[in-house]
Structures are given as structure tokens and as C-alpha cells.
Amino acid sequence: MSSTRSSVARTLMWVGIACAATSLATTRAGAEALLVIEAENGKVLYAQNAGQPWYPASVTKLMTAYVTLHAVQEGRLALDTPLTVSPNATAQSPVKMGFAVGTVVTVDNALKMLMVKSANDMAVVLAEGVAGSIENFAGEMNANARRLGMIQSSFVNPNGLPADDQISSARDLAILARALIRELPEYDYYWHLPGIRMGKMVRWNYNTLIGRYPGADGMKTGFICASGFNLVASATRNGRRLIAVVLGAPSSAARALKAAQLLERGFNTNSGLSWLMPPLGTVESVQPIAAAPPNLRDEMCGGHRKRPASEDEDDLAVASNNPETPYAVFLASLRPGKAKGAAPLQEVKMGEPVLVYTGTKPPAAGAQTATESKPEKKKAAAVKPTAKDKDDASTTSAPASRAAPKPKPKSSAAKDGANEAGKDGTSAAAASSGDAVAPKPKPKARKDAAKDGASATAASSDDATAPKPKPKKPAPKPPPMVITPAAEQSSQVK
């Protein structure tokens, strides 16, 4: 009897532990929405909370790009159409390019800045360029969402900044990503740009799978405190393209790792045991959940975090070079295939960032290099206020003074002459031409100056102004025809 009771007690204990573990797993899983599908036919390979409404954050910009590129296809504008930055665009919250009102950018450059840097101001520039206003553009976004079957989505702005009515789901975002791939194949490069470069500024894509995960070729990240870290990613292997959606990850590294795991799971579904898994249907068949979007603000940006979460935390992690950061752990976990000893994917080349610019024409290569080096030149001139710089200033102001630096000024008198020449720019030429004769104690220099008529006349003119501390005996002498004794005058004065 006692043995039966103890058996029942042990059974209940294990059931309790199992229930507790299940509840914890459910709580953890409830904070994320996951989905992976095949791009070609929309077949669902894995889904978790895929029908849960969610704040899309900057993943919204996929719809902004979709509407803009369809407008280009329809001929309403072109990729080289110039757009003007408005006050409404400059008023957007970061992340943004920060251009001044009136700055001109082309549709092409605005799209590149939108997809790589996730620039909120460029989203408004595109919206106003396509539809005239944010409200009109949001209407086009919602019309396209309904046409595509995104029944859980509503948009009120083109950049995904916090708004109660800016809602989507993993289901709807996968449908949108599939439409971008299938309907706009000629613009596919926008989804996997490694980075952008403007002058000396380089910004890499927030999608850290690009250049690291084998076959990664898209698409867009997003983050606000209420949504957590979102990512719509795509990858292609052996002609098979998959789309993974991660919503509500706790960090940028976690969302990238989760997306990589989803993609790996999808690519391995053709194994011999895949027939054991029940079919999940297509992405359109995913059932929507009638619920409000979860608000992760406290978890993402609460006071318990050492630093509030942000979209650019990957940049800070890279700059720190700390192998213990989640970002570094994520990079070390990704490897190209299952071969032992394979190199980490962070060693894979990212590719060159693409050039972006303001205006309608790219800057000339020489002009861009000159503008990039200007700050360095200013710093160099400010740091070296020495006698050498003063000599350089005197030589630039008077080409005739190039003869002066030939004899290296080893004496203190020569250095003092150089300093005086640097202090007075107007007398630099006179001092330098006079230095060609004055610093030399040897009489040979005087003979050479007398032999050269041009230098003699220059020396006489210099001596007329230079011998201020000496008696003014030469000044009252008016030698009308006696110009040759000028060398003698100079020898007497010196």
C-alpha cells in the first residue's frame, strides 16, 4: 500500500515538473513569432505564433519599398527622379540620414539609404515623392496589403515608428516578402546591399546574416521597444529560396541566430524523415489570431537593462571587439556547412559598400577625395605652428624666397630671420631676399651679389628698408647716376 502511494507521489511530482517546464517554455515562446516558408510556392515549413498581430517596426519599410518600386514600374517616377527633403522628413526620429531641408536625393539613393541604414527620414521623402503626403502613401500601402491578402496589416506611416495602428504579423510579412521577390525580381539587389558609403561615412546593413550566413540575400530588420527585434530574412541554396520571419527577439544577435536556425531547418526539410511531419499548408492558410499585439516595452527598454536596446547595437558590439558579446557568440556559432574545422562566417567578405550621394549626379572621384581630406589638412595646420610652417608661409607668399632655404640655417641669427619673416607676411619677400646676402659672414656672398646686376638692385632696394636701426646717412644722399655702389652701401651698413 505504501509502495503504491509512493509511486503515485513520484508520478505526480514528475507531472508537476513537466507542467512547470511546459508553462515556462510557453511563456518564452509566447514572446516571439516565428515562420519559415518557401518563396516559390509559399509552403510553410515551420510556424509559431505566425498569426499573432505584431508591431512591425522598420520592417514596415519593405512595404514602403514595394509601393515605391511599383510606382517606378508604372512610370509614375524613375529611379533617377530627384526628391526634396521636407521639414516633415527632417522631423522624423532616428535612425535617419539627417539631411537639411531642401536637400535633393534621387529615388535610387533614398531606397539604398532606406534599406541599409533604415533611415526614417528617407521613408518620408519617398512617401511624399510617390503620393504627395504620408497620409496618401499610407492609403496606397493599405490598398496593396489588401490586394496581397495581408489581412492582419494596417499602416499609418512609411517607416514603422511607434503607432498603435501600425500592425502586421509574421504571416503577413512573409506574404509581403514573397511578393517582393516574385513581382520585382529586377530590384532584388536592394534587399541584400552589404552597406552604403557617403564620403568617409560607411554604414553596414543591420541584417547581419548578409555576408555571413551561406546564401543570405535579404531582407530587412526592425526594432522599437514595443516590438522587440524583428527580422525578415531570405536565403538561397541550390536554386531554392526560403523566407524566415522573426518577431520579438530579445536582441539583434538573437534575431539573426533565430533566423539562421529557421533557415537551416527549412533547408533540411527534404531529408528522408520529412514525410513524417504533417503538412502545414501555405502561408495564406495560416490562421490569424484575434488578439492585440504584445507590448514588449518593459522587457526591451525597461530599467533592468544596463543599456536600452537599440537597432544599432550591432555597431557598438563590433566596435568593442569583445568575444563575450551576444553578437560575437552569434558570429562564432555560424559556420558554412557542417564540416569540422570550418572557418567562422565573420571571415567571409562582406563586399564593398555602395556609393550614395545627395543631388542628381555622383561626385567626381577626385573631388570626393579632396573633400574627405579637408578635415585632416585643417588639423595638421593647427597642430604645427612652428618656424617651419612660418617659413612655408613666407615661401608661398613670395616665390623669390625659395633661394633663402638653400643654405641650412644652423645659426641662431638665421633662425631669427626666419621667425621674423613668418611674423610679417609683407616683409617676407624682402627679408628672404636680404637673407640671401645678410646671413653670410663671408665676403664671397657680397662679391657674388655685386656680379649679379638683378640681385644687386634687389639688394639695394631691400637695404633701403632694412637698415632702420642704423644711422640714416645713406638716405639723404641722392646719387643720380651712382647705382652700382649699392653693394658698397650694403656692405657698409651690414
Each residue's pLDDT expressed in tens, for the chain with a length of 494 residues: 445 554 444 444 444 434 433 333 333 445 799 999 999 999 999 999 999 999 999 999 999 999 999 999 999 999 999 999 999 999 999 999 999 999 999 999 999 999 999 999 999 999 999 999 999 999 999 999 999 999 999 999 999 999 999 999 999 999 999 999 999 999 999 999 999 999 999 999 999 999 999 999 999 999 999 999 999 999 999 999 999 999 999 999 999 999 999 999 999 986 555 556 678 899 999 999 999 999 999 999 988 766 656 655 554 444 444 545 555 555 555 544 444 433 334 444 568 999 999 999 998 875 554 433 333 343 334 444 444 444 444 333 333 334 444 444 444 434 444 343 334 433 333 333 334 344 444 444 444 433 444 443 433 344 444 444 555 455 455 444 444 444 344 444 34
Which of 372, 352, 374, 376 is CA-nearest to residue 364?
A: 372
Q: How far is CA 64 from the centre of its chain?
A: 20
Q: How far apart are CA 254 and CA 259, in angstroms?
A: 8
**DSSP code for 439:** T
Helices (H) and strands (E) in the chain, counts: 18, 12
The CATH class of the 30-355 domain is alpha beta
Number of Cα atoms under 13 Å in the Cβ half of residue 188: 13
Across 55-79, b (16+ Cβ under 10 Å) vs e yields bbbbbbbbbbbbbbbbbbeeeebee
Using a 10 angstrom Cβ sphere, with 0-12 exposed, 13-18 middle and 19 or more buried, the burial of residue 269 is middle
- Strands 53-54 and 216-224, sheet pairing: unpaired
* Residue positions annotated with a catalytic role: 58, 61, 118
CB-based contact 138:161 (threshold 8 Å): no
Q: How far apart are CA 33 and CA 21, in angstroms?
A: 20
User: At a CB cut-off of 8 Å and minimum separation 6, what does 151 contact?
Assistant: 172, 288
**Would you kindly state where each structural domain of the chain is located, as residue ranges?**
30-355, 386-493
DSSP H stretches of helix in 74-102: 87-90
Determine which helix (DSSP H) or strand (DSSP E) holds 73, and give its type and residue range.
helix 61-73
